[in-house]
Amino acid sequence: MSSSWLVCLLALLVGVVALTQGLPLLEDLDEKSVPGGRIVGGYVTDIAQVPYQISLRYKGITTPENPYRHRCGGSIFNETTIVTAAHCIIGTVASQFKVVAGSNWRTGSDGVITNVKQIVMHEEYFSGAAYNNDIAILFVDPPLPLNNFTIKAIKLASEPPLEGTVSKISGWGTTSSAGSASNQLLAVDVPIVSNELCDQDYEDFGDETYRITSAMLCAGKRGVGGADACQGDSGGPLVVRDELHGVVSWGNKCALPNYPGVYANVAYLRPWIDAVLAGL
C-alpha cells in the first residue's frame, strides 16, 4: 500500500473515531441553515433577552477572499472583553475573527461588528481530561458600545449553581446533532446536573480521558433529554440568575437523555479569568 493511501486511510479512521467520541460543540462551517429552526428543544428569543450574547465570526488564513462566518458564541464581560471556549480559537490568530454583538442573526452584518485584537487561551486546556479548562478570553477593538439593551455585559459567577437550578443557554447552533444551524437566535432552559451524576453518565463513554472535572459544569434533562446546546453553540453562555456560570463546551451528540451537556465552569475558572484581566 502506498504512503499516500496510508495517509488517506488514517485520516478516514480519525474522522470515524471523532464521530463516536465527545465532540466540541463547534459549527462545521457549512452553509446549512433553517430560519425557523430551534436550538434542540428550545425557542426563538431576542437579543434584548440575552444581550450579552455575541456571534464569533471566522475565516481561514488561506481563504482571505471568503466572508467571515459564524463559528462560535461568546459572552460580553465588558466593552473590550469576550469570554468564549478554548476549542473555538485553538490553532488560530486574532485577525481571523470578528465579533458581532447586538444581532439576532447568525449571518449578515446587522448589529455592531468589531475586531479581535488579542486571544488568551487557558494554558492547561485539554490537560488531564478531554476539553478540560475549555475557556479563552478575547480582547476586541474598537470597544463595544454597551447600551444595556441589546449589547450588555454579564457578571461572572463566583460560586457554582445548585443542582436542579434552571439555566438558560442561547446561540445559533444546530437544531439536532449534526443537523442544520439556525439563522435566528434561539434559547433553551435546562436544569443543572451535579458533577457526580454527570461523571457517572459519562463513565462508559469513550476512553478514560472523557471524564467530568471540577473545571466543568453539566446541565440537561437527565433521563429525559430533548433540550440542549448543539454544534455552533460552542463558546456561548449558560446563565443562571443573570450570571455567567458556563461556557458551552462538549458532549455526546446533543440532547440525549443519558448524557447532559458539558460546559466550562466559570466559577471554578474565575481565578484564571481574574488573573488574565489583572495582567492586562
| Active site members | 87, 134, 234
Spatial CA neighbour of 108 closest among 43, 174, 33, 45 = 33
Indicate if the alpha-carbon torsion angle 162, 163, 165, 170 is positive or negative: positive
CB atoms within 10 A of CB 274: 12
Judged by DSSP in three states, 87 sits in: helix
Contacts of 96 (CB under 8 A, 6+ apart): 58, 59, 60, 61, 116
C-alpha cell read off for 90:
485553538
Q: State the cell numbers at 257.
A: 437523555
Q: Could you say which DSSP state residue 1 is in? A: -
CA 186, 214, 99, 72: dihedral to nearest 10 degrees?
-50
Q: In the beta sheet, which residues pair with residue 243?
A: 155, 240
Please name the residue that has the C-alpha cell 476539553. 131
